[in-house]
């Protein structure tokens, strides 16, 4: 029963699209109602299943899924032509990410309630995007994983270019093509994984049982890792994210920054580092050097920007840099911190973009120098934005603090010079984060209000609901992180076991 | 009179065909050079059939077929060239410049 | 009879409850209800704190530590577990009482102060958040919990200082306060990470019972350099102190505190007396045994404190904004507390008298400083300006306030038998006993300065002729809700010294130390006399300059024809200007601009170049398609040759 | 007189089919629908019959010793017939009124007959067992194409295209012939088995020259670098349906030719010619992608894209026989459907406007369903999952990687980004650009709408439920 529900997670959005296909675009109310219902239903299902995973933790799981502790495990032969299977399952990590996705998708549907243009197509695309993200987090077969992983390129361009604002075509192209570049780097290495390992299988579990030949790993790991890192905007592949986000409509920014950018980090952890641990141990210390840009310079760049979405994009860049810091530390705490940061940053940036979108709908500008004092006119949205900001600068009580402190402590356990330096810099750069967030909040919400904003109204019930729910999630994780880190630890244990077991041959980087 | 000479002859013929193809700008001339190249191949067939092959008929058969096929190919080519001429009033290959990037 | 644990929960949860309820439900419309709720809850909290204190100090258990409750927050590696708990020992109990009591007073006061303000509900909720976070900080059982509430204190101060968010000055002041303290906090966090990595625990109990012996030998990689673990601990201790450095606004991170005066006066008073700034001192006091083992950290602390003390006092003598004067006085009092902790270190041994003195001064200072601010607030509320120019002659109009002000000012000037005398005297004594004679001298001198500027304020505000038409016209009156707490606070300002002395000397010792202690301490009975003498002298000077019949008040107040030195001091040694130059020119203009340029030019440039290159190649392909038949035929022939030579066929 | 084996009945029908269609013209006037109806019925019938043939893997079944029908052959037949059928459907409207600034065409019956002949040529290629039949098949497949290109007598572009095509085509034929002659000289026989034996026995320069010339000759039909130069001009000059047939049928024929050759007689030396194949593939797909970057006319754009596709499909030839053939056939199916979908959309556009990017502007506003179909076909050609194109490409790369050509696969995969770039260009003009007033509105006939929907569903379905491919290619489990 639960297994069926679990598989429904990615099926329902598709079904919604199919159901809506025959309805004519003129019945917007009906369409939106359908989409909202399905999103809410999925959210409900995911929450229930997440609770089940938490409740079941500790009890033995499906043997076939070893070394992972997977619930709701399904394995069906799919493409006999090249022996691909349909393998899905849930451990703590991807279940939590699914929950995050469900929340963000739900919020996204609500936020883009009265979007300009052909709403039928837009919502269909959102559901497709949701399908792809759900699929990525669920699947444990590399072909299935990749199919879902690259699906997003199909939706992204259309959504940004048709419904976006500003330089939408440019932004959409930049985003889509860069992501496609990354995913093609991944695809290039997949075949090697299949053939070089000796076990002719795409299943991550099967592949994890063998040690891939070193010479293959040495070129495949960087290719695959960077391929994944592209979608998490690791320097120097971060350039797509500011333009893409600023061009995208609100919901798409939320989904892109909140969920899609995590797919990359998730892939790095679940596929690249897990299947090629030896190369990971050799290469990751060098990856850390790249983080100096993400973590240290990113906030500074954000300081110089005036456009709300650019600021948020650069803050995402720096936060995702922290994820990679946690990954590259190669310590259990670091890995857990990274996964925590994935989830926390998802909610955080979702809230950010949601509020920004709502404010933009009213002020029709995202230039903070033009705004001011709008806290007086829209206290609710203002407070939402400020809370997002506090979560972003790692204020205790919000999830951001938990994730960041875990990452810092975890990264400090790693005794390599470069990692130490970057960790110290990262810790010191929490000030810079505070600077740009407060500067933004002050310029936009406080101070004197231009006369043209006298007529502004505060958020309507729908928007308030979104903000409240997202803030609640942030607070919930921030105030009782115990249970979440418990189930995360369980799902990270096998990954770390494999990594720590890996013996690094005497190969220079 | 041995295999090698025949092959050399064929190859020369082929080369002449190529050379003519390159030099000529007149469509008919080009067609004729192509004919030369095809016949070079035919000579190959015949000579191989005569000297080495274990059933001599195969090569001959092939060249006969080739002649037939080439005939209809040339027929169509000429037809097209005629309609070409109707439009351009010339058969200069340099003038086919309407289609380009 | 409710037990201590319940009391502990009550103390922490009542303010939190107030914050949540006021913030979510009552904040917008029902100001009265919000105020009532805030006052009751904080009152109950204060009551339970006092109950707890009585129960604790009367029990035979007294000087030892106890943990009322402790929950596991997040587990890290092995022993390294972040916990949330409630630690009970003399220090924390004292702080609990102070914080709850002060915030109770301030809440009462705010009823009057915020009567006209439209967003009073928000104010009350934030005030409770402030005291809640300070309480959490006070009862912290480990560094991690302390950092959590440390940050909460910072953010709530940000929200309160910028409470009037339509005032640009207030907004920028709040931003400055938050960012400067945050800057210090980043080092604090680094220190926590480093120390917890070396020691393997956050708990104060572990850190305070540490001996360096175990860490002498093996090395640890700090990225830049390899150091011994013991050295790493010393570095960590300095980093941790940096947190307190910023929070307590020690020089040169002091500038945010005077600017924070932009906030509502109740906020200033609670920041200065109980919640925010003493956090730094509290941190050092709490970790005292740990600091004691780290070689010269305490000496550093001492000099930082001493310098700030004098520096602030000098500035205070020239200011005319009463709140700023009080702010600088706070700075210099914090300097006292800080260096009192520092002077305990004598070469390689430690004398604990300074610790006692410092904590004692926290206690006494809280009351009189709070009441001083409240008084200033009610003055401002009446004359609608902070400027001494516009005051004077308020003695007749506000007699109660006048008396209370006198008490508090005598207290802060260290005139017996007022509370300040005892604590300050002990501090000076400790400096003497610590054989830090320079600091000792400075302390004496500063006490004189303190008396001078406080009485300058006093005389200019209350004595002389009214310089404000509102006062002349007699619109001035005393608001009950605002005067009540002032009066209440005057009592401890008067008595806390006498009553507290015995208590502190009996119970307040920093716990077992792992360094040799200096037991036999020099006793110098002339010190109190000297201190008082200087104070009285300063008082007389102030009287002569500002209150005596032939004092030229007008000339004392005008800014023109002043010496250059005076101007420099009056402009606070131009530190604000330096700060803004550094921030604007260096951070925004320098680093940020460069990094953005790097991103926009180098990275985007490379990208653009790749695209341009690809397009060039595309054009190359397209130029081949000129539609030229002979060329096409040529490609056939060329192709054969190409693949003949590059096709890697074994020809 | 013995009974005809059932497995060549479709071939026989296809052989007589064009004569019937053309002959039917004798009994009805030139406006009548009869030839068209006959064509539809006949092609569908053949398709159905083909699907009845049991797929026998391995050697397959023989008919008078040099007409082999194996599983690969059957599936290639299906592809070719499908292509012919779609081509016929596509061409119908061009005989009712002109399109893309070109006048209306005439003699539909002969047109269909020519297509059928070309198809039969392709079938001959896949089922040939000796070089003579092989060569004849190739010629039968090619010569009608020349005629079809020039079908529109009143259109001088068509004539010019045909001239270029036939001149270069004959040169390519000469190359092939030359290659065949050396192959014959090397093996001393025509039958594949003899050649296979001879090649297995040992190589000689004669063989390599033969291989070189054969590859160059077929490289022309498959539009490999640098023999592709004719394609853009011919694709643009020819009538749209002919372009579609060219890009599918003649490519299918050519790749089938290579597959039969490489996996048949030349199998023993596959390793030695692998580098050549790899280079051809890599350079071709790169050049094709580059050329397509900045195009403004749709048919020329499709020409470059199909050049790139040829490069991709060459990758599969590096793999072992079974995997390679599976990949090729599956990819051809996918490619045929996606390509025809694109061409149907372009055709619909072309009936009312000229076939350029500019006339796609605002399609998503005026006619969303058409825009969606266009997006589907483009994304499928670009190889974006879950559309069919991705799985096709995945097959190809899989086959290439089986023999460890990771370099080439990586290169090809990275080129996908380039491809996506220009396909997105086209999608942009259909979805993003605002419509400008003076574009004549589009009207879809019932048939057009039906075909577009059918094909779109096909593209999505074959990709989305790719296990269909297992049932189709049941013969290819290994």
From A449's Cα to the closest Cα of chain D, the distance in A is 36
List D244's β-bridge partners, or say none. none
From C625's Cα to the closest Cα of chain B, the distance in A is 6
Range of the domain at D126: 1-265
> What pLDDT sits at residue D154?
85
Same domain, D99 and D161: yes
The Cα C460–Cα C466 span in angstroms is 10
Nearest C-alpha neighbor of C615 from the set A237, D422, D153, A435:
D422
Same domain, D232 and D287: no
**Mean pLDDT across chain D, nearest whole number?**
90
The Cα C152–Cα C156 span in angstroms is 6
> What pLDDT sits at residue D103?
87
The Cα A155–Cα A164 span in angstroms is 13
> What pLDDT sits at residue C115?
84
The Cα A223–Cα D228 span in angstroms is 33
Give chain D positions within 8 Å (CB) of C613. none
Residue of D nearest to A154 (CA): D384
The Cα C26–Cα C39 span in angstroms is 14
Residues C152, C136: contact at Cβ < 8 Å? yes
* Residue A382, CA atoms < 13 Å, CB-side half-sphere: 22
In order, the DSSP letters of D160-186 are HHHHHHHHHHHHHHHHHHHHHHHHHHH
Please, what is the angle between helix D251-263 and helix D71-92, to 10°? 170
Share of chain B above pLDDT 70, in %: 100
**Mean pLDDT across chain C, nearest whole number?**
89
> What pLDDT sits at residue A508?
46
Token pair in block for residue D179: 């290659």
> What pLDDT sits at residue D477?
36
Residues C392, C467: contact at Cβ < 8 Å? yes
Predicted confidence (pLDDT) at residue C519 exceeds the cutoff of 90: no
Neighboring chains of A (3 or more beta-carbon pairs < 8 A): C, D
* Residue D258, CA atoms < 13 Å, CB-side half-sphere: 35
Beta carbons of A421 and C171 less than 8 Å apart: no
DSSP state of A268: I
Q: Looking at D235, D265, D295, which one is the last position of a domain?
A: D265
> What pLDDT sits at residue A509?
40
A388: enclosing H helix or E strand: helix A379-392
D270: in domain? no
Residue of C nearest to A484 (CA): C74
D272: in domain? no
Helix (H, G, I), strand (E, B) or coil at A62: coil
The Cα A56–Cα A2 span in angstroms is 12
Residues C191, C240: contact at Cβ < 8 Å? yes
Give chain C positions within 8 Å (CB) of D220. 636
Q: Which residue in this structure is represented by tokens 């097959």?
A: D395
Share of chain D above pLDDT 90, in %: 69
B98: enclosing H helix or E strand: none
The Cα C463–Cα C394 span in angstroms is 7
> What pLDDT sits at residue D478?
31
Same domain, D158 and D229: yes
Same domain, D54 and D112: yes
Which residue of D132, D160, D232 is in closest CB contact with B65? D132
pLDDT band at C380 (very low <50, low <70, confident <90, very high): confident
Residue A236, preceding peptide bond in cis (omega within 30° of 0): yes
Q: In this predicted model, which residue has the larger pLDDT, B100 or D268?
A: D268
Average pLDDT over residues C399-423: 91
Same domain, D246 and D322: no
Predicted confidence (pLDDT) at residue C633 exceeds the cutoff of 50: yes
Same domain, D146 and D194: yes
The Cα A121–Cα A108 span in angstroms is 15
Beta carbons of B77 and D135 less than 8 Å apart: no
Beta carbons of A417 and C223 less than 8 Å apart: yes
From A482's Cα to the closest Cα of chain D, the distance in A is 39
CA C536 to chain centroid: 31
Beta carbons of D233 and C639 less than 8 Å apart: no
The Cα C305–Cα C299 span in angstroms is 10
For A112-140, the pLDDT digits (tens) are 998 888 899 999 999 999 999 999 999 99
Neighboring chains of B (3 or more beta-carbon pairs < 8 A): C, D
For D17-60, the pLDDT digits (tens) are 999 999 998 888 877 888 899 999 999 999 988 888 776 656 67
D180: in domain? yes
Whether the CB of D218 is below 8 Å from some CB of chain C: the reply is: no
Q: Classify D65 in phi/psi space as left (phi over 0), alpha (psi -120 to 50) or beta.
A: left
Sign of CA dihedral A295, A297, A300, A306: negative
Beta carbons of C165 and A300 less than 8 Å apart: no
Beta carbons of C190 and A397 less than 8 Å apart: no
Average pLDDT over residues C477-504: 88
Token pair in block for residue C68: 């009322």
Same domain, D240 and D338: no
In order, the DSSP letters of C33-76 are HHHHHHHHHHHHHHHHHHHHHHHHHHSTTTTS-EEEEEEEEEE-
Give chain C positions within 8 Å (CB) of D232. 625
Give chain D positions within 8 Å (CB) of A154. 379, 384-385, 387
Predicted confidence (pLDDT) at residue C226 exceeds the cutoff of 70: yes
Beta carbons of B21 and C633 less than 8 Å apart: yes
Q: pTM value? A: 0.94
D405: in domain? yes
Predicted confidence (pLDDT) at residue A443 exceeds the cutoff of 50: yes
C350: enclosing H helix or E strand: strand C349-350
Beta carbons of C625 and D205 less than 8 Å apart: no
Same domain, D343 and D217: no
Q: Looking at D265, D292, D317, which one is the last position of a domain?
A: D265
Cβ within 8 Å of B, D 152-171: 153, 156-157, 159-164, 166-167, 170-171
Q: Which domains does chain B have, with CATH numbers?
A: 3-95 (1.10.287.3510)
The Cα A70–Cα A89 span in angstroms is 5
If one counts the domains in chain D, the total is: 2
Nearest C-alpha neighbor of A428 from the set C185, D113, C297:
C185
Q: Over the range C610-639, which residues count as b (16 or more CB within 10 Å of their CB) and which as e? A: eeeeeeebbeebbebbebbbbebbbbbbeb
Residue of C nearest to A409 (CA): C193
Same domain, D328 and D232: no
D273: in domain? no
> Where are chain C's structural domains?
575-646
Beta carbons of A82 and D395 less than 8 Å apart: yes
Predicted confidence (pLDDT) at residue A418 exceeds the cutoff of 70: yes
Q: Classify C347 in phi/psi space as left (phi over 0), alpha (psi -120 to 50) or beta.
A: left
Whether the CB of B94 is below 8 Å from some CB of chain D: the reply is: no
D398: in domain? yes
- Residues from A in contact with D at Cβ < 8 Å: 25, 78-82, 118, 121, 143, 146-148, 150-151, 153-154, 157-158, 161-162, 168-169, 173, 176-177, 180-181, 184-185, 187-188, 191-192, 194-195, 223
From D158's Cα to the closest Cα of chain B, the distance in A is 10
Nearest C-alpha neighbor of C196 from the set C183, C210, C177, C182:
C210
Average pLDDT over residues C133-137: 95
The Cα B48–Cα B28 span in angstroms is 30
Sign of CA dihedral C178, C179, C184, C185: positive
List D128's β-bridge partners, or say none. D67
Cβ within 8 Å of B, D 259-298: 295
Same domain, D199 and D252: yes
Average pLDDT over residues A21-47: 93
Sign of CA dihedral A40, A45, A48, A53: negative
For A138-197, the pLDDT digits (tens) are 999 999 999 999 998 888 999 999 999 888 999 999 999 999 999 999 999 999 999 998
List A79's β-bridge partners, or say none. A84
Sign of CA dihedral C557, C558, C559, C564: negative
Q: Looking at D265, D293, D309, which one is the last position of a domain?
A: D265
CB atoms within 10 A of CB D317: 26
Beta carbons of A188 and D466 less than 8 Å apart: no
The Cα D162–Cα A221 span in angstroms is 51
Same domain, D102 and D212: yes
pLDDT band at D1 (very low <50, low <70, confident <90, very high): very low
Identify the weakest region by mean pLDDT among A218-227, C387-396, D131-140, D424-433.
C387-396
Which residue of D212, D227, D291 is in closest CB contact with C649? D212
Count how many pairs of residues, chain C against chain D, have C-beta atoms within 8 Å. Answer: 84
The Cα C646–Cα C634 span in angstroms is 18
Residue of B nearest to D213 (CA): B41
Rg over alpha carbons for chain A, rounded to the nearest Å, is 22
Predicted confidence (pLDDT) at residue C481 exceeds the cutoff of 90: no
Whether the CB of B12 is below 8 Å from some CB of chain D: the reply is: no
The Cα C209–Cα C512 span in angstroms is 7
Contacts of A18 (CB under 8 A, 6+ apart): none
> What pLDDT sits at residue C96?
94
The Cα B90–Cα B92 span in angstroms is 6
Dihedral Cα C120, C123, C125, C128, nearest 10 deg? -130
| H helix intervals, D5-155 | 9-24, 34-52, 71-92, 108-127, 131-149
Q: Over the range C212-226, which residues count as b (16 or more CB within 10 Å of their CB) and which as e? A: beebeeeebebeeee
From D217's Cα to the closest Cα of chain C, the distance in A is 9
β-bridge pairing C349-350 and C345-346: antiparallel
From C591's Cα to the closest Cα of chain A, the distance in A is 7
Chains D and C contact (Cβ–Cβ under 8 Å for 3 or more pairs):
yes
Residue of D nearest to C644 (CA): D212
ipTM value: 0.92
The Cα D383–Cα A147 span in angstroms is 11
């Amino acid at each position: 029963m639960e297994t069926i529900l679990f598989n429904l997670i990615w099926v329902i959005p598709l079904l919604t699209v199919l159901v809506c296909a025959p309805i004519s675009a003129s019945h917007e109310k009906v369409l939106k109602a359908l989409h909202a219902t399905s999103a809410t239903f999925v959210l409900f299902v995911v929450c229930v299943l997440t609770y089940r995973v938490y409740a079941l933790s500790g009890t033995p799981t499906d043997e076939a899924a070893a070394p992972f502790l997977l619930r709701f495990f399904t394995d069906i032969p799919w493409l006999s032509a090249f022996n691909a299977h349909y393998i899905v399952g849930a451990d703590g990590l991807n279940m939590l990410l699914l929950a995050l996705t469900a929340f963000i998708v739900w919020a996204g549907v609500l936020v883009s309630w009265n979007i300009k243009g052909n709403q039928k197509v837009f919502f269909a695309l959102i559901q497709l995007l949701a399908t792809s993200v759900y699929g990525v987090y669920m699947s444990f077969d590399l072909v299935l994983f990749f199919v879902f992983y690259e699906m997003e390129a199909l939706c992204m361009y259309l959504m940004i270019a048709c419904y976006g604002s500003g330089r939408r075509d440019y932004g959409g192209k930049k985003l889509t093509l860069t992501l496609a570049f990354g995913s093609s780097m991944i695809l290039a290495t997949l075949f090697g994984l299949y053939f070089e390992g000796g076990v002719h299988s795409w299943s991550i579990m099967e592949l994890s049982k063998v040690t891939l030949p070193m010479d293959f790993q040495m070129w495949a790991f960087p290719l695959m890792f960077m391929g994944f890192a592209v979608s998490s905007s690791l320097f120097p592949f971060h350039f797509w994210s500011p333009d893409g986000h600023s061009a995208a409509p609100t919901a798409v920014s939320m989904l892109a920054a909140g969920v899609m950018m995590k797919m990359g980090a998730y892939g790095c952890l679940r596929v690249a580092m897990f299947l090629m641990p030896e190369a990971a141990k050799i290469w990751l210390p060098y990856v850390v050097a790249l983080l100096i840009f993400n973590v240290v310079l990113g906030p500074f760049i954000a300081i110089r920007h005036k456009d709300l979405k650019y600021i948020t994009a650069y803050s995402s860049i720096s936060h995702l840099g922290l994820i990679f810091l946690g990954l590259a530390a190669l310590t259990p705490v670091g890995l857990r911190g990274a996964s925590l940061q994935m989830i926390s940053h998802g909610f955080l940036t979702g809230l950010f973009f949601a509020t920004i979108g709502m404010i933009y709908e009213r002020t029709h500008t995202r230039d903070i120098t033009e705004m001011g004092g709008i806290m007086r006119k829209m206290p609710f949205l203002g407070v939402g934005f400020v809370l997002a900001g506090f979560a972003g600068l790692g204020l205790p009580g919000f999830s951001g603090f938990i994730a960041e402190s875990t990452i810092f402590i975890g990264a400090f356990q790693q005794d390599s010079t470069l990692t130490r330096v970057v960790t110290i810099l990262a810790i010191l750069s929490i000030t810079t984060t505070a600077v740009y967030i407060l500067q933004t909040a002050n310029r936009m919400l406080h101070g004197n209000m231009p006369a043209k904003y006298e007529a502004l109204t505060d958020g309507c019930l729908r928007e308030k609901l979104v903000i409240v729910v997202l803030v609640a999630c942030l607070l919930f994780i921030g105030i009782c992180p115990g249970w979440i880190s418990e189930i995360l630890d369980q799902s990270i244990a096998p990954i770390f076991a494999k990594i720590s077991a890996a013996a690094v041959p005497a190969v220079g980087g | 009179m041995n295999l090698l000479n025949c092959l050399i002859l064929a190859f020369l013929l082929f080369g002449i065909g190529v050379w003519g193809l390159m030099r000529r700008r007149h469509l008919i001339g080009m067609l004729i050079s192509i004919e030369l190249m095809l016949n070079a191949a035919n000579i190959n067939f015949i000579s191989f059939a005569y000297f080495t092959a274990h059933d001599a008929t195969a090569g001959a058969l092939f060249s006969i077929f080739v002649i037939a096929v080439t005939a209809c190919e040339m027929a169509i080519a000429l037809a097209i060239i005629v309609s070409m001429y109707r439009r351009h009033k010339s058969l200069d290959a340099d003038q086919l410049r309407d289609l380009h990037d | 009879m409710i037990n201590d644990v319940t009391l502990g929960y009550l103390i922490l949860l009542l303010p939190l409850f107030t914050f949540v309820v006021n913030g979510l439900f009552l904040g917008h419309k029902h100001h009265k209800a919000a105020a009532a709720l805030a006052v009751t809850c904080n009152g109950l909290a204060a009551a339970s704190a006092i109950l707890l204190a009585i129960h604790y100090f009367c029990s035979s258990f007294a000087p030892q530590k106890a943990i009322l409750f402790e929950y596991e927050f997040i587990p890290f590696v092995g022993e390294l577990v972040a916990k949330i708990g409630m630690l009970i020992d003399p220090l924390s109990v004292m702080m609990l009482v102070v914080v709850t009591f002060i915030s109770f007073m301030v809440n009462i006061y705010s009823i009057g102060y915020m009567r006209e303000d439209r967003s009073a509900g928000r104010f009350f909720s934030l005030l409770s958040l402030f005291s809640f976070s300070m309480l959490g900080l006070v009862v912290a059982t480990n560094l991690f919990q302390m950092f959590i509430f440390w940050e909460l204190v910072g953010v709530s101060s940000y929200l309160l200082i910028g409470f009037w968010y339509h005032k640009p000055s207030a907004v920028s002041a709040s931003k400055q306060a938050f960012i400067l303290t945050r800057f210090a906090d980043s080092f604090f966090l680094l220190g926590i990470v480093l120390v917890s990595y070396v020691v393997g625990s956050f708990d104060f109990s572990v850190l305070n019972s540490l001996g360096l012996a175990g860490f002498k030998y093996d090395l640890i990689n700090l990225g830049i350099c390899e150091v011994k673990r013991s050295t790493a601990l010393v570095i960590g201790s300095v980093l941790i102190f940096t947190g307190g450095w910023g929070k307590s606004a020690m020089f040169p991170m002091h500038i945010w505190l005077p600017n924070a005066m932009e906030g509502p006066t109740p906020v200033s008073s609670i920041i200065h007396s109980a919640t925010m700034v003493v956090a730094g001192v509290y941190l050092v006091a709490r970790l005292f045994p740990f600091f004691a083992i780290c070689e010269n950290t305490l000496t550093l602390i001492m000099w930082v404190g001493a310098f700030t003390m004098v520096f602030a006092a000098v500035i205070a003598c020239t200011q005319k904004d009463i709140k700023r004067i009080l702010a600088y006085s706070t700075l210099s009092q914090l300097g006292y507390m800080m260096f009192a902790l520092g002077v305990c270190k004598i070469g390689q041994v430690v004398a604990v008298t300074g610790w006692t003195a410092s904590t004692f001064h926290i206690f006494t200072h809280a009351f009189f400083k709070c009441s001083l601010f409240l008084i200033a607030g009610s003055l401002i509320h009446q004359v609608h300006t902070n400027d001494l120019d516009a005051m004077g002659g308020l003695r007749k109009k506000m007699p109660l306030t006048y008396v209370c002000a006198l008490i508090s000012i005598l207290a802060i000037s260290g005139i017996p038998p007022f509370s300040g005398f005892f604590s300050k005297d002990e501090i000076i004594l400790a400096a003497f006993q610590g054989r830090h004679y320079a600091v000792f001298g400075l302390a004496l001198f500063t006490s004189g300065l303190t008396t001078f500027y406080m009485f300058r304020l006093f005389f200019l505000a209350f004595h002389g002729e009214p310089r404000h038409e509102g006062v002349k016209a007699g619109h001035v009156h005393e608001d009950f809700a605002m005067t009540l707490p002032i009066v209440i606070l005057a009592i401890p300002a008067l008595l806390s010294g006498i009553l507290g002395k015995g208590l502190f000397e009996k119970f307040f010792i920093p716990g077992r130390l792992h360094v040799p202690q200096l037991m036999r301490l020099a006793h110098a009975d002339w010190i109190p006399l000297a201190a008082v003498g200087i104070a009285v002298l300063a008082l007389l000077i102030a009287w002569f300059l500002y209150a005596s019949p032939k004092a030229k008040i007008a000339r004392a107040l005008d800014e023109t024809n002043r010496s250059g030195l005076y101007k420099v001091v009056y402009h606070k040694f131009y530190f604000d200007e330096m700060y803004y130059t550094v921030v604007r020119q260096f951070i925004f203009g320098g680093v940020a601009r460069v990094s953005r340029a790097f991103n926009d030019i180098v990275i985007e440039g490379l990208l653009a170049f790749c695209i341009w290159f690809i397009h060039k190649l595309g054009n190359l392909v397209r130029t081949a398609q000129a539609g030229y038949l002979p060329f096409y035929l040529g490609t056939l022939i060329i192709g054969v040759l190409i693949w003949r030579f590059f096709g890697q066929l074994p020809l | 007189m013995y009974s005809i084996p059932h497995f060549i009945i479709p071939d026989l029908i296809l052989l007589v089919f064009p004569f019937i269609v053309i002959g039917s013209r004798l009994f009805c006037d030139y406006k009548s629908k009869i030839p068209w109806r006959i064509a539809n019925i006949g092609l569908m019938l053949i398709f159905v019959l083909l699907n009845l043939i049991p797929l026998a893997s391995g050697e397959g079944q023989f008919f008078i010793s040099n007409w082999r029908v194996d599983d690969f052959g059957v599936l290639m037949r299906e592809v070719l017939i499908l292509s012919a059928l779609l081509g016929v459907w596509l061409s119908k409207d061009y005989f009712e009124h002109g399109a893309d600034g070109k006048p209306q065409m005439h003699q539909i019956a002969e047109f269909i007959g020519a297509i059928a002949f070309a198809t039969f040529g392709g079938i001959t290629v896949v089922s040939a067992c000796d070089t003579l039949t092989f060569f004849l098949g190739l010629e039968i497949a090619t010569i009608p194409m020349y005629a079809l290109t020039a079908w529109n007598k009143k259109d001088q572009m068509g004539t010019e295209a045909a001239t270029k095509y036939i001149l270069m085509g004959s040169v390519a034929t000469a190359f092939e012939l030359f290659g065949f002659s050396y192959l014959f000289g090397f093996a001393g026989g025509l039958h594949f088995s003899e050649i296979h034996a001879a090649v297995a026995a040992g190589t000689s320069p004669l063989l390599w020259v033969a291989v070189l010339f054969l590859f160059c000759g077929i490289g022309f039909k498959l539009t490999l670098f640098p023999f592709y130069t004719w394609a853009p001009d011919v694709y643009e000059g020819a009538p749209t349906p002919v372009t579609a047939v060219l890009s599918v049928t003649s490519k299918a024929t050519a790749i089938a030719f290579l597959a039969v050759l490489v996996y048949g007689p030349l199998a023993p030396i596959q390793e030695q010619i692998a580098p050549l194949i790899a280079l051809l593939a890599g350079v071709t797909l790169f050049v094709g992608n580059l050329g397509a970057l900045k195009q403004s006319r749709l048919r020329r754009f499709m020409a470059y894209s199909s050049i790139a596709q040829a490069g991709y499909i060459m990758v599969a030839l590096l793999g072992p026989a079974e995997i390679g053939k599976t990949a090729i056939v599956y990819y051809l199916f996918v490619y045929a459907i996606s390509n025809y979908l694109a061409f149907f959309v372009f055709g619909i556009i072309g009936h009312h406007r000229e076939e350029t990017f500019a006339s796609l502007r605002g399609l998503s506003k005026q006619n969303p369903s058409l825009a969606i179909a266009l997006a589907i076909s483009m994304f499928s050609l670009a190889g974006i999952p879950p559309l069919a194109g991705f799985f096709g490409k995945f097959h190809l790369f899989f086959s290439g990687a089986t023999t460890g050509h990771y370099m080439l696969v990586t290169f090809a995969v990275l080129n996908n980004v380039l491809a996506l770039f220009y396909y997105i260009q086209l999608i942009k003009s259909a979805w993003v650009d605002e419509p400008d007033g003076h574009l004549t509105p589009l009207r879809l006939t019932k048939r057009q709408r039906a075909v577009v929907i059918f094909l779109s569903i096909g593209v999505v379905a074959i990709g989305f439920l790719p296990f269909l491919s297992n049932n189709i290619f049941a013969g290819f489990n290994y």
